A = this chain, B = another copy of it.
């Protein structure tokens, strides 16, 4: 199996919309964010990816979204044709896509929550599952703006809600990019 592994530093672009798809990128370690740029210039975050996740499934045409490293990370590039020709690998790929589809649907559910607090609570939940968490401590290597673009809120609203949670001890900052979830956020 032909595989090449490439490392990316924090904030580095892994691939861009419009690039020609050649091989399928899978995150070995670290975390990444997937987004598009809308016609009006707004950024829309589509998904978060953690270790083990594929960053796209395009085998032929052009890519339709961007991927950026949230933390330093390693990405393995698999040859698409080889992957598909192996029945086991194809089944594995199918499973991966089904998982992605599940996350996108949770994202949809999150976005249809009416209050900012509910949306952000769902976001914390989703992020913990995408990026990994040890019990109540989780990494959240996103800027306020990125969280806003994920949840469909403004960065001010995100900031205000987090500030309130900090006072409640619902979500306390452990260090930069690391938070501890209080009981109210450990529902799922």
Q: Which residue numbers of A lie inside 8 Å of B, CB to CB?
A: 36, 38, 44, 46, 57-59, 64-65, 84-85, 87, 90-91, 93-94, 97-98, 100-102, 104-105, 107-109, 111-114, 149, 152
Question: This chain: how many copies in the complex?
Answer: 2
Q: Is the interface of A mostly helix, strand, loop or mixed?
A: helix
Q: List 9 A-B contacts (CB under 8 A).
A: A44-B112, A57-B94, A58-B98, A85-B87, A90-B94, A104-B104, A104-B107, A108-B111, A114-B152
Given contacts A104-B107, A111-B111, 8 further A-B contacts (CB under 8 A): A59-B94, A84-B90, A90-B90, A90-B91, A94-B94, A101-B101, A104-B108, A111-B112
Q: Cα distance A104–B99 when bound, in Å?
A: 13
Are the CB atoms of A108 and B107 closer together than 8 Å?
A: yes
Q: Cα distance A84–B97 when bound, in Å?
A: 14
Instruction: Name A95's closest neighbour in chain B (CB-CB).
Output: B59
Are the CB atoms of A64 and B108 closer together than 8 Å?
A: no
Instruction: Name A44's closest neighbour in chain B (CB-CB).
Output: B109
Are the CB atoms of A108 and B109 closer together than 8 Å?
A: no
A75: shortest Cβ distance to chain B, in Å? 19
Q: Cα distance A105–B150 when bound, in Å?
A: 12
Which of B87, B98, B149 is A97 in contact with, Cβ under 8 Å? B98
Are the CB atoms of B84 and A91 closer together than 8 Å?
A: yes
Are the CB atoms of B97 and A94 closer together than 8 Å?
A: yes
